[in-house]
Amino acid sequence: MSKINNSDEFPFANEEAADFKTEESSVEDASKEFDPMSLEHGPLKHLIDDNFLQYASYVICDRAIPALEDGLKPVQRRIMHALKDKDDGRFIKVANIVGHTMQYHPHGDASIADALVTLTNKRYLIEGQGNYGNIYTGDRAAASRYIECRLTELARRELFNKDLTDWIASYDGRNKEPVTLPCKLPLMLMLGADGIAVGLSTSILPHNFIELLEAQIEILREKKRTPAELNLLPDFQTGGLMDVSEYNKGKGKVKLRAKIEQRKNNRLVITELPHGTNTESLTASIEDAVKKKKVPVRTIDDFTAEKVEIELTLTQGATQEKAIQSLYAFTKCETSVSSRLICLRDHRPVEMTIDEVLRFNTRQLLEILEGELNLRKAKLLDNFHNKTLVQIFVENRIYKKIEQCKTYEAVIKAIYKGLEPFKKQLKRKIVDEDIEMLLGVRIKRISLFDIEKNRKDIDDILAELVQVEKDLKGLKGYATRYLKRLIKDYKADYPRCTESTCFKEIEVRELTATELQIKRDENGYIGTNVKGEVIMECSSLDKLLVVWSNGKYKVMPPPEKLFVDDSLERCEIFDREKPYTAIYTDARITYLKRFKIGGTIMNREYFISKGEKSKLQLLVDGTPEAIYVKYNKAKGQRIFQQRFSPGDIAVKGVKSRGNRMTTKSVKYIGTEPGRWWDQDDNTVPDGVLL
C-alpha cells in the first residue's frame, strides 16, 4: 500500500498551514512591546533620513554659514561675482545685478536684493547710490529698480583674481561660479555675520578694518616661540559704548550702551546707539519705561537724520545722572550681544576664536600674494621672451630668410635655424607658438621698429623680474608693505566707531526704591492702585511681607489692590534673614519666640502663631532689651506686671512654637514701660520663659 502524498493530493494543504503560521506569528509579534529604536524600519525612514541630512547640509554649507576663506555666504559671493562680471566703473541698477545673480543663485530675487543692501550698508565692498535705508532709524531701502551700485575700489583690487580662483558649475550647469574668492582681506571679521542653520547658529561681531590689518602685521613680525597677543575688539557702525570683559576672543558676549550726553535745561541727548537697535525700537522702549514710571522722562523728540539725535526732556526734580542710570537699567539703551564664531573651513562647520581666524587669514594672504607674484613672474618672462624674440627677429633680419621658402614647413624651419645662434639670450626654449607670433609681426613694425625703445622695455622687464624674485624670497616683508599701504590708503575712511570701556554695575533696586507707593484706604484695602494714605514706598522688584493680627503672613509682589480689613499688623519689604521677636496668645497661653522667616512660597499663607484663633500681641524687629507686660486683675492674683528678657532664648525657625511666658490675661505689652507701668512697685519679679 503506497503512502499518500498530501502535497500532491491536497494542493492547498501547505498554503493553509503557512497562513496559520503567519497568523500565529503576527499574534506573537503584536504581543511584544513596540520599540522603534531596535526594530528594522522600512524604506520611508531611510528616505526621510537621507532627505533631512541633505537639507541640513545644504542649509549649513550653502545658505547660513560664511566660509572662512573669503568670509562670505553663498548669496554674497554670487552677488560679488555678478558685480565683477558687470563692472565697468559706473553705477548699475540693482535690479540688473539681482537678475544677473539669479544665474548663479537658485533662490528668489528678494533674498538677493536684501543681501545686496546689507552688504552695501557695511561700506567695504559695494558703493551704493540712492535710498539704501537708514541703519540708525531702521527705514528700509527703496525698491531695487530705483537704486544703483558698483564695486568699491577696495573690493575691485583685493577680492578678485580669475587665475587664482577655483570654479564650479552653477546650479543649472549653464555658468561657472567661484568656489571661494581669492580674498586678501580678513573679510569675515570685517563684516561680521549672523546665521541660523540646522542644529547650529553663528554670531560673528564686526571688527575695525584698520585694527585687523595692524594685528596682521604683528602676526607677520612675530617669532614662533613668542606669538603676538592680539587684543582685537568688536567695532560697530552705530557707535556707542561697549564692555568687552566677557568677550573671550569671540566666544563670549559684549555689553553695549548708547552714548548719552548731558545738555542744559535738564535735557539728555542720545547721540550713538548700541548695536542691534535703531531709533524706533529705542524710543519705544523708553516710552514703555516712562509708562511704568521707571524713567523720569517728560518728552521724547527724535531728530535723527544722518546722525543720531534723540532728545529727552526730564521731569521736574529729576537728576541727569540718575536718569541716565535708569535709561541703561530699564530700556534698550543697554543691550547685550553674544558672540559664537562658527564658520565653514574646507566645507565643514568649525568653531574658532578671533585669533585663530585672523592667523588663518594671514596665512592665506601670504599664499595669495605668492600666487600673484608667481603669475606676475610668469607674465614678465613671457613678455621678456616675446620682446627678445622680436628684437632678434628684426635686428638680425631673420625675416629675410623666409622670402625664398615655398612651403610653410620650410618657413618654420628657416626661422628656427635663424634663431639658433641667439638661444643663450632667451630664458626658455623656443616653441611653435613663438614662431607663429613672429610670423604675425606686421611689416609696419619691421620698418619702423624702434630698437632703443624695445631694449628699454626689456631692461624694465628684467628689473621688475629682479624685484619679483626678491619679493618672493622675502614674502613676509612684502606682505607687511602691502598691509601698510592699505592702512595708509583707508585709515581716514574707517576710524573706530565704538568706544571700549568698563561698565559699572547699576543697582536697579536703588534706582527703583521709591518707584511704587503702597497706600491704605478706609475700606480695608492696600496696594499701588488704592487711594488713601501712603504706608510705604517700594520697588517693583521687591517682595512684600504682609502680616495680619492673628499671626497670618504672606510674601508677595507689591499688590495693586489687596483686602486686609482692619486686621493688618504690618507691611514691609521682605528679608528672609531678618530676625524678629513675636509674642502671641493661643488658648489662654501667651508665648514668646525669636525667629527668622527664611524661605517661603510666593502668595502662600503661613502663621507666626499656632493658627487663625491665635492673637498676635507683639511683633518687633530684632531682639528688644526687655518686654514689659501688664496683666488684667483676677481673683487671687498676686503678680500684676512682669519684665521678660527675650535675649535669653535662641533664634529659631518661624514654625517653632516659642517659649511660654504666662497663662495670665495680658492687658498691656511693650518693649518700653508705658504709662500703664507701675514704677513704684518694687516687688515685681522678672518673668521666666519656659
Q: What share of the chain is helix, strand, coil (3-state, %, to 5)?
A: 35, 20, 40
Segment (H or E) for 619: strand 615-621
Q: Which is nearest to 77 in space by CA: 87, 88, 67, 90?
A: 67
- List Cα–Cα distances, 288 to 67, 69, 283, in angstroms: 41, 45, 9
Q: Which residues contact 321 (CB under 8 A, 6 or more apart)?
A: none
Count of beta carbons in the 10 Å neighbourhood of residue 38: 6
What's the distance, CA 86 to chain centroid? Answer: 34
Rounded distance, CA 554 to CA 543, Å? 10
Q: Return the C-alpha cell found at 110.
A: 528678494
Contact assessment for residue 472 and residue 377, using Cβ atoms and an 8 Å cutoff: yes
Dist. CA 471–CA 452, nearest whole Å = 29
**Are 649 and 592 contacting, i.e. CB atoms less than 8 angstroms apart?**
yes
How crowded is the C-beta side of 559, counted as CA atoms within 13 Å? 20
State the CB neighbour count (10 A cutoff) for residue 105: 24
Helical pair 354-395 and 451-473, crossing angle rounded to 10 deg: 150
Interior angle at CA 453, CA 447 and CA 456, nearest 5: 150
| DSSP states along 387-407 | HHHHHHHHHTTGGGGGTT--S
Question: What angle separates helix 408-419 from helix 432-439, to the nearest 10 degrees?
Answer: 100
The radius of gyration of the chain from alpha carbons, rounded to an integer in Å, stands at 44
For the question of residue 146 being annotated catalytic, the response is: yes
Q: Which among 288, 292, 293 has a CA at the least distance from the CA of 332?
A: 288
CB 522 within 8 A of CB 532: yes
- Of 55, 58, 104, 146, the catalytic one is 146
Beta strands in 303-448 (DSSP E): 310-314, 334-338, 342-345, 348-351
Q: Give dist(CA 288, CA 266) in Å, integer.
A: 21
Instruction: Write out the three cell numbers for 360.
Output: 588663518
> Which helix (H) or strand (E) is 651 found in, with range?
strand 651-653
Long-range contacts of 433-438 (CB under 8 A, 24+ apart): 434/385, 434/386, 434/389, 437/386, 437/389, 438/389, 438/390, 438/393, 438/398, 438/399
Which is nearest to 469 in space by CA: 595, 381, 343?
A: 381
Positions marked catalytic: 146
